[in-house]
Amino acid sequence: MTVLYFVRHAQPDYRQGVNSTFVLSEEGMNDRMRAAEVLEGVRFDRAVSSPYTRSVLTIMPIVESKGLELTFDERLRERDNQGGNTRDMFRRRWADFDFHEEGGESLGSTQERNVAAVRDILSKYEGETVLVGTHGTALSTIINHYRPEFGFEQFMRIIDFMPYILRMDFEGQTLTGMEELFSLHKEFHGVK
């Protein structure tokens, strides 16, 4: 069995930087330590993350405490977003995985690259326990791939979970179990 622990980043400070460089808010910096406490008893074999700053900062206490080498996979990055973060826009994206705003990325494209990264992790690290640094929309599209009933309403339920920890168990490439382990409700700074 291969076990993936997905850690969605803690609360970012969206006022500074761009999608790839948002740092964590002061609360987020504190909250990441709570995520590390939740995973304190887990023995990880390796850590893979989105290269985006908020994901790296969130899992770094876990990586350091476990003495892991952190590798990055660009495919695990968040959806390219050009704004439009309203409930109606979220609903439209989830209703049509090919839809995207001008200059943005569709959920279908986001899902395709994130699931490809997960499949590679499962192939390369079969039988291991892997820490995965991720994002809300990226993780939601992964869940949707394996559990198609996960859609707009489920996405809206977890949009404010920062950090959020989800364990997914696999036999080969087949999902055999999924469990939410931890979440902190933090206000999403985008418009809803």
Write out the H or E segment, with its range, that includes residue 175.
strand 174-185
Q: What pLDDT sits at residue 96? A: 97
Measure the CA–CA gap between 41 and 142, rounded to whole angstroms. Answer: 25
Three-class secondary structure of residue 105 per DSSP: coil
Q: What pLDDT sits at residue 20? A: 87
Phi, psi of 180 (to 5 degrees): -80, 125
Which of 26, 39, 9 is closest to 181 using CA atoms? 39
Q: What pLDDT sits at residue 30? A: 97
Q: Which fold has domain 2-185?
A: Rossmann fold (3.40.50)
CB 182 within 8 Å of CB 164: yes
Q: What pLDDT sits at residue 192? A: 39
Q: What pLDDT sits at residue 151? A: 98
Measure the CA–CA gap between 147 and 154, rounded to whole angstroms. Answer: 11
Please give the chain's pLDDT, 192 residues, in tens.
Answer: 999 999 999 999 988 788 889 999 999 999 999 999 999 999 999 999 999 999 999 999 999 999 999 999 999 999 988 667 889 999 999 999 999 988 889 999 999 999 999 999 999 999 999 999 999 999 999 999 999 999 999 999 999 999 999 999 999 999 999 999 999 999 776 543
